[in-house]
Chain A
């Protein structure tokens, strides 16, 4: 009996403790000033390592081979960047949930993933110029309708939790029934088992799922979707260096070669603008 009474009081004490941590943390945070200017470029040169965030769940942009090593367009591009700086590239796996926290806590210096530069995200991180222009479409079974509007309820569409594809669904389908998974492989497996009727995904990664004989195909495009390299805010040196190096790699032909290696075709977009590179890029 005494055990129970003290248990109840103890849990009350715990609740108070939790609230107190909340208030105490609020006070601590109120004293934190705005983020200072970082200098990632100097840090990377000094450390001799470029910490590059890459996806390992999104072929062909980023996946792992049987040995567990990161492979794909993202890691290859990161290697090219590191070579330009004369440092080693070290890969850190990111997911849609961890990419921003990992950037903020310094585990990665930049992310070569599938992050779309939305204004909402720009409140916490900075983006380079778009480094991939992709498209978002729905993976569907062979023989199903390729028109996006046909996937209104009772059909179900899926994507990952937190993806901005959720908003795209709401823009293109009236009252969509969206099922959210933690990872894309789970969503595609659900499609194959008939649990959902389509998986909203980027066309670049659909290459891995929609192979000949897989029984899956792509619907029409919903939107052309830019991806940018993500980096910490208030770091102009780093951002400028990344933007310039990206365009230099384009001018040298390295970018196009890597793209064709992983996507099987030439890119149908241009760096910096559809007409020309940034004035001043050598």
Chain B
């Protein structure tokens, strides 16, 4: 990390500054270790495989949601920017409603709505993936729309001038650039979805969050277990956010 900026101009750290900061961070970590050394970490280690498996479940849900949400989101974004007006209104409606509703509520709504609307009953996993994909699609649609709009309009006009159809322009000029521009935002949405999978707790799927609570139920060591929970989420999300910062240092993570 080179130079921190502030409203008054760039801040040049001296060597003394850097060492002071490292000392403070080291000191806090040491204090944490000293204070927590009496907690029952053996419980955490014994349940290690189970915790890792449930962490994998969280990741599986995240990636499945992105996998389904990305094409749907791109479709929604295309409809919103280029579709006929009634279609555009419906696309905007879906995106805005899903983005304005609490994620917990979206999960409950899908959990109730899918059996009610389709007449058939569907398992909890399917309902969970549908709701997460819905959330992913609506956020990704906005990201995609920003990406599409970020392509300079002069390129579209040149394309039209040379006689290309709108579809051709979209597929060969706009989309490739938009997709490339939106990679940092895409990873940020992955991080956001990973955090949202902690809400799947209410549907009964054993993700990382629920796994820790189940073990706590049996062992009653909330301090050690909840700390592991927090650290687990922090490490996963932080590593990903470092990737984002590598790709685009100016990107402000909005979520």
A–B: direct contact at CB < 8 Å: yes
Given contacts A14-B97, A67-B49, A104-B115, contact A185 B216 (CB under 8 A): yes
**Chain B positions 148 through 181: 1 when the CB is less than 8 Å from some CB of chain A, otherwise 0:** 0000000000000000000000000000000000
Q: Does B15 contact A (CB under 8 A)?
A: no
Report the minimal beta-carbon distance from B90 to chain A, rounded to whole angstroms: 6
Q: A10 and B47: CB pair below 8 A? A: no
**Chain A positions 13 through 39: 1 when the CB is less than 8 Å from some CB of chain B, otherwise 0:** 110011001001100110010000000
Q: A9 and B89: CB pair below 8 A? A: yes
Q: A93 and B119: CB pair below 8 A? A: no
Q: B121 and A67: CB pair below 8 A? A: no
Q: B217 and A57: CB pair below 8 A? A: yes
Q: B93 and A10: CB pair below 8 A? A: yes
The interface residues of chain B, by DSSP majority, are classed as helix
Given contacts A57-B217, A66-B46, A68-B53, contact A93 B206 (CB under 8 A): yes
Instruction: Write out the residue numbers on chain A whose beta carbons fall within 8 Å of the beta carbon of B202.
Output: 97, 182
A7 to B88, CA, bound (A): 11
Instruction: Write out the residue numbers on chain B whose beta carbons fall within 8 Å of the beta carbon of A7.
Output: 92, 96
Q: B97 and A93: CB pair below 8 A? A: no
How many interface residues does chain B have, given as a range?
35 or more
Instruction: Write out the residue numbers on chain B whose beta carbons fall within 8 Å of the beta carbon of A273.
Output: none
Q: Which of A17, A25, A93 contacts B117 (CB 8 A)?
A: A25
CB within 8 Å of B: which A55-111 residues: 56-57, 59, 63-64, 66-68, 93-95, 97-98, 101-102, 104-107
A9 to B218, CA, bound (A): 52
Q: A186 and B206: CB pair below 8 A? A: no
Q: A189 and B206: CB pair below 8 A? A: no
Given contacts A13-B90, A68-B54, contact A189 B216 (CB under 8 A): yes
Instruction: Write out the residue numbers on chain B whose beta carbons fall within 8 Å of the beta carbon of A127.
Output: none
A14 to B93, CA, bound (A): 5
Q: A98 and B201: CB pair below 8 A? A: no
Q: B119 and A29: CB pair below 8 A? A: yes
Q: Does A119 contact B (CB under 8 A)?
A: no
The residue in chain A whose Cβ has the minimal distance to the Cβ of B86 is A13
Instruction: Write out the residue numbers on chain B whose beta carbons fall within 8 Å of the beta carbon of A56.
Output: 206, 214
Q: B203 and A11: CB pair below 8 A? A: no
Instruction: Write out the residue numbers on chain A whose beta carbons fall within 8 Å of the beta carbon of B215.
Output: 66
A7 to B100, CA, bound (A): 12
**Chain B positions 176 through 210: 1 when the CB is less than 8 Å from some CB of chain A, otherwise 0:** 00000000000000000000000001111010000
Instruction: Write out the residue numbers on chain B whose beta carbons fall within 8 Å of the beta carbon of A25.
Output: 116-117
Q: B96 and A14: CB pair below 8 A? A: yes
Q: Does B30 contact A (CB under 8 A)?
A: no
Q: B217 and A66: CB pair below 8 A? A: no
Q: Does A184 contact B (CB under 8 A)?
A: yes
Q: A6 and B222: CB pair below 8 A? A: no
Report the minimal beta-carbon distance from B79 to chain A, rounded to whole angstroms: 12
**Chain B positions 37 through 80: 1 when the CB is less than 8 Å from some CB of chain A, otherwise 0:** 00000000011011001100000000000000000000000000
Instruction: Write out the residue numbers on chain A whose beta carbons fall within 8 Å of the beta carbon of B92.
Output: 6-7, 10, 13
Q: Does B124 contact A (CB under 8 A)?
A: yes
Given contacts A10-B96, A13-B89, contact A95 B204 (CB under 8 A): yes
Given contacts A13-B90, A14-B93, A93-B204, contact A105 B213 (CB under 8 A): no
Q: B201 and A105: CB pair below 8 A? A: no
Q: B204 and A10: CB pair below 8 A? A: no
The residue in chain A whose Cβ has the minimal distance to the Cβ of B95 is A10
The residue in chain A whose Cβ has the minimal distance to the Cβ of B124 is A98
Q: Does B122 contact A (CB under 8 A)?
A: yes
Given contacts A68-B54, A105-B121, A214-B220, contact A185 B89 (CB under 8 A): no
Most chain B CB inside 10 Å of its own CB: which residue of A11, A94, A192:
A11
Q: Which of A9, A28, A64, A101 contacts B124 (CB 8 A)?
A: A101
Q: Which of A13, A64, A94, A182 contacts B214 (CB 8 A)?
A: A64
Instruction: Write out the residue numbers on chain A whose beta carbons fall within 8 Å of the beta carbon of B216.
Output: 185, 189
Q: B115 and A32: CB pair below 8 A? A: no
Instruction: Write out the residue numbers on chain A whose beta carbons fall within 8 Å of the beta carbon of B97.
Output: 11, 14, 18
A105 to B217, CA, bound (A): 29
**Could you pull out 29 A-B pairs where Cβ atoms are within 8 angstroms?**
A6-B88, A6-B89, A6-B92, A7-B92, A10-B96, A13-B92, A13-B93, A14-B90, A14-B93, A17-B94, A21-B117, A28-B119, A57-B214, A63-B214, A64-B214, A66-B49, A68-B54, A97-B203, A97-B204, A98-B204, A102-B124, A105-B123, A107-B123, A183-B217, A185-B216, A188-B217, A189-B220, A208-B217, A208-B218
- Interface positions of B (Cβ within 8 A of A): 46-47, 49-50, 53-54, 88-90, 92-94, 96-97, 111, 113, 115-117, 119-124, 201-204, 206, 211, 213-218, 220, 222
- Interface positions of A (Cβ within 8 A of B): 6-7, 9-11, 13-14, 17-18, 21, 24-25, 28-29, 32, 56-57, 59, 63-64, 66-68, 93-95, 97-98, 101-102, 104-107, 182-186, 188-189, 192, 208, 214
Shortest 3 CB-CB contacts between residues of A and residues of B: A105-B121, A14-B93, A185-B217
